[in-house]
Structure 1
Amino acid sequence: MSDSGEVTFKDLNLIDDLVKNCERLGYKQPTEIQQQSIPYSLQSRDIIGLAQTGSGKTAAFALPVIQLLYDNPSPYFCCVLAPTRELAFQISEQFEALGSNIGLRTATIVGGMDMMTQSIALSKKPHIIVATPGRLQDHLENTKGFSLRNIKFLIMDEADRLLDMDFGPIIDKLLKILPKERTTMLFSATMTTKVAKLQRASLSNPVKVEVSDKYQTVSTLLQHYLFFPFKLKDSYLVYLANEVAGHSMIIFTRTVVDAQRISIILRNLGFPAIPLHGQLSQSSRLGALNKFKAGGRNILVATDVASRGLDIPSVDYVVNYDTPSNSKDYIHRVGRTARAGRSGKAITFVTQYDVELLQRIEKATNVKMDEFPHDKQAIPLLIERVNEASRLAAVEMRESQQKKRKGRFSAKDDMDMDDDVANLPKTVSNNGKGKSKKQKKF
């Protein structure tokens, strides 16, 4: 232990290169899930890990896998399954960052990207494959020479979401073709009946590591609500955006249409907003995420595609434009802020139709929310401008739909993203190229 009595990454028997990388990335000390799971992972034990969002689960499995790979280098060493494309890219980025000075090679295999480019990346025999289940199955069935029969580690991240998204049958197929002699780690925020069934089917004598309740938000998160009539919803959002201008904010909507519409309204009023939802092209989705992470836009308007797993270091506010219909969705949305010990604020919009939903969330999280302080007299002054911006947004969306039908729709029309493809994560383009000559290679 350190002089202060706190557990360090060195105390977890990680090699010096990994300890230095943790320090370089700003990981001051291991989180609870990392402290409990890494020692078992280094023994190649099967693990079922339950931890709240933002608790450091990715590093909890990436660090021991990289160390064991360092001791026994081999291609296709580990496969990580993730429920969304964005999370898959993020996991790859974290593997690359943690293994940056030891020649780690990764491949990110997700839908919405070119199959041939991915096949070439797989032919280079990466150490780590991070994939969404459907696209991984496509490659196993159609890419010549690719198999996972020698895989040593299988990791299923956000397992409850994997199963909620009906990946269960595909995962069952994958489990049948993977070698029995492997280490399996299953990480989830909640222990549902589906996750318990998957655990029994895929893990052998697992160690259970649990560091949170089923419904829990972190203590550094301040949670508020705003109550108003439904017809004033957009005006209240613009008021709030103006009040917290200069801070980073994720606004969650229930539908794709609202995510697109609100981002246009905010842009029409001079706010740097960008949408993220499942109907955008994959390059546009990654571009939106990168632009928000880099600070090029400080307002991200998203559906629940952004509510799970994504680690965006400095999100000051999470705004629930639509009150989540269940507590689990609320937990994951507000988990985008107040991560890794930082503070953050969550504000939930509540209309006359949402009071019961708010009460359910408060009961499940055991948190009584306070009303967010605001000036009610300022709202009427905004209504006319907001209505006009809304009208212009409707016209813009209608024109975009017409272009789509005529086949002339591009990512630039989509969301003013003409320069975003150039900002894709390095996991898309280099697949392990461009390493320093000083690096030790596997």
Structure 2
Amino acid sequence: MAAGDEEGQAAEPEAVAESEAAVEEPRSFKDLGVTDVLCEACDQLGWKVPTKIQVEAIPVALQGRDIIGLAETGSGKTGAFALPILQALLETPQRLFALVLTPTRELAFQISEQFEALGSSIGVHTTVIVGGIDTMSQSLALAKKPHVIIATPGRLVDHLENTKGFNLRALKFLVMDEADRILNMDFETEVDKILKVIPRDRKTFLFSATMTKKVQKLQRAALKNPVKCAVSSKYQTVEKLQQYYIFIPSKFKDSYLVYILNELAGNSFMIFCSTCNNTQRTALLLRNLGFTAIPLHGQMSQNKRLGSLNKFKAKARSILLATDVASRGLDIPHVDVVINFDIPTHSKDYIHRVGRTARAGRSGKSITFVTQYDVELFQRIEHLIGKKLPAFPMQEEEVMMLTERVAEAQRFARMELREQGEKKRSRNDDDDDTEEAIGVRNKVAGGKKKKRKAF
């Protein structure tokens, strides 16, 4: 796979069979061919009727075909690949049966939860292999040979290369979820390595929101005569989503944010920022003003990231500030309002961000902040979704009345951010001292080590 392909260039896969939608849409999972024990599990999860991608993909997967699933965010993709895998596992029980590759740690944990919930009555064991977690405990979990491994590509390659006795030579199913994003995060080398060490005789499911040139190359390399199951070929947002923008001077962004949070008080919010630093700063700013805000970004430890997500899911916090690490795949049922505090540079990311609200038939709002520097990016978004967005009604005078309090909170947030940075630096210095001491010991023992290696 060449690394130089354009992220946004769409390309249709060659020689891919189209799945034929049934004349009459099935009304239940049983109609799709799902076995009784798994139908009961769906019922317990509250999955009454299959989603469009499940209707398209499950019957084809149960026939033993490879699949390319193109579906928008929040479309029930996990069920579309988990149910056929669990049904095949029931028919031929085996350890290290399936591997699911995902781009982010949070998505990996979420997929694991769904596999375990669907497979609880048949005793399915899953293991999550992602960065930010101790490799030794992961090696022990792999030694127990789970049925399903859900992994980010980088950490899985680490274990394939360094964990004694671990291999995927008996693997029967490979799933690449959010494949476009896996490749955009520069995991191509890792995916290539994984494809080289797993059996050619396997079933492969590739799910992606978009068919980029990179995904097309991956499809050619990894799938055999796949069936394409596409439920949404054009970029669109759901009908029940009310979308707005506000045009504001860049220096008053924080004041406008506080105004909107006050105006729409009582709702739950996801606020998207472009950088980890701005996510952390804005969370501290809002806390200083008395809001229950928590951050979620890539520079947090894995435990803290999961903690933030769980607090927000449990409604213990009403505002989640996040980078695009949370824009795709995460199923948080009760988001009322999405705010694009920083406008996304890739227009498609707008679709994924606002897709966090108005899920499963509910209504929701999204508000995008457009400063004097963002006009072109905003026009691209409107062009992509094919509609002109209305302005959110604002009372400018009320916003201006907040500026003094906000300025004070900004000052406190900067101080806290600086303190956090200093603590982090001092911890890193301590680690460096430890490494230096280890280095000295190794030099002293170096001669002995070399002699041992020679024999």
Question: Is the TM value for this pair above 0.5?
Answer: yes
2:137 is aligned with 1:94: no
Q: Is the 8 A contact 2:26 2:55 kept in 1?
A: no
Q: Quote the residue 1:364 is aligned against.
A: 384
| CA shift digits 1:45-69 (9 cap, x unpaired) | 1000100011111111011111111
Write the distance in 2 (CA, Å) between the matches of 1:137 and 1:237. Answer: 42
Question: The residue matched to 2:109 in structure 1 has which SS?
Answer: helix
Write the distance in 1 (CA, Å) between the matches of 2:47 and 2:145. Answer: 30
Write the distance in 1 (CA, Å) between the matches of 2:72 and 2:118. Answer: 22
Q: Is the 8 A contact 1:160 1:194 kept in 2?
A: yes
TM score, norm. by length of structure 1: 0.90
Q: Is the 8 A contact 2:25 2:55 kept in 1?
A: no
Aligned partner (choices 16, 28, 35) of residue 8 of structure 1: 28
Alignment of 1:332-351 (within 5 A): 332-351=352-371
Q: Quote the residue 2:192 is aligned against.
A: 172
Write the distance in 2 (CA, Å) between the matches of 1:203 and 1:220. Answer: 36
Q: 1:408 to 1:154 in 2, by over 3 A?
A: closer
Write the distance in 2 (CA, Å) between the matches of 1:82 and 1:272. Answer: 30
Q: Which runs of 5+ in 1 are unaligned?
A: 410-442
Write the distance in 1 (CA, Å) between the matches of 2:272 and 2:345. Answer: 12
2:395 is aligned with 1:375: yes
Write the distance in 2 (CA, Å) between the matches of 1:262 and 1:395. Answer: 13
2:271 is aligned with 1:251: yes
The structure with the largest alpha-carbon Rg is: 2
| CA shift digits 1:320-343 (9 cap, x unpaired) | 001111211111111111122222
2:154 is aligned with 1:134: yes
Q: Is the 8 A contact 1:45 1:207 kept in 2?
A: yes
Q: Which runs of 5+ in 2 are unaligned?
A: 1-23, 430-455
Write the distance in 2 (CA, Å) between the matches of 1:18 and 1:366. Answer: 40
| CA shift digits 1:15-59 (9 cap, x unpaired) | 122112212212121111000000011122100010001111111
Write the distance in 1 (CA, Å) between the matches of 2:285 and 2:310. Answer: 21
Write the distance in 1 (CA, Å) between the matches of 2:234 and 2:216. Answer: 14
Q: CA deviation at 1:367?
A: 2.1
Question: The residue matched to 1:125 in structure 2 has which SS?
Answer: coil
Write the distance in 2 (CA, Å) between the matches of 1:225 and 1:132. Answer: 35
2:433 is aligned with 1:407: no
2:329 is aligned with 1:309: yes
Q: CA deviation at 1:227?
A: 1.3
| CA shift digits 1:146-192 (9 cap, x unpaired) | 11000000000000000000101111111111101000000000000
Range that drifts further, 365-374 or 90-99: 365-374
Q: Is the 8 A contact 2:270 2:320 kept in 1?
A: yes
Q: Quote the residue 1:198 is aligned against.
A: 218
Q: Is the 8 A contact 1:49 1:185 kept in 2?
A: yes
2:407 is aligned with 1:387: yes
Write the distance in 2 (CA, Å) between the matches of 1:208 and 1:73. Answer: 28
Q: CA deviation at 1:373?
A: 2.0
Q: Quote the residue 2:296 is aligned against.
A: 276
Q: How many residues get paired?
A: 406
Q: Quote the residue 1:291 is aligned against.
A: 311
Q: CA deviation at 1:214?
A: 4.1
Q: CA deviation at 1:246?
A: 2.1
Write the distance in 2 (CA, Å) between the matches of 1:133 and 1:224. Answer: 37
Aligned partner (choices 158, 182, 185) of residue 178 of structure 2: 158
Question: The residue matched to 1:45 in structure 2 has which SS?
Answer: coil
2:234 is aligned with 1:209: no
Question: The residue matched to 1:318 in structure 2 has which SS?
Answer: strand
Q: 1:206 to 1:306 in 2, by over 3 A?
A: same
Instruction: Note the aligned Cα RMSD (angstroms).
Output: 1.4
Write the distance in 2 (CA, Å) between the matches of 1:60 and 1:375. Answer: 46
Write the distance in 2 (CA, Å) between the matches of 1:84 and 1:320. Answer: 21
* Percent of pairs with identical residues: 64
Q: Quote the residue 2:74 is aligned against.
A: 54
Alignment of 1:16-55 (within 5 A): 16-55=36-75
Aligned partner (choices 223, 226, 243) of residue 243 of structure 2: 223
Q: 1:6 to 1:67 in 2, by over 3 A?
A: closer
Q: CA deviation at 1:125?
A: 1.1
Q: Is the 8 A contact 2:235 2:384 kept in 1?
A: yes
Question: The residue matched to 2:150 in structure 1 has which SS?
Answer: strand
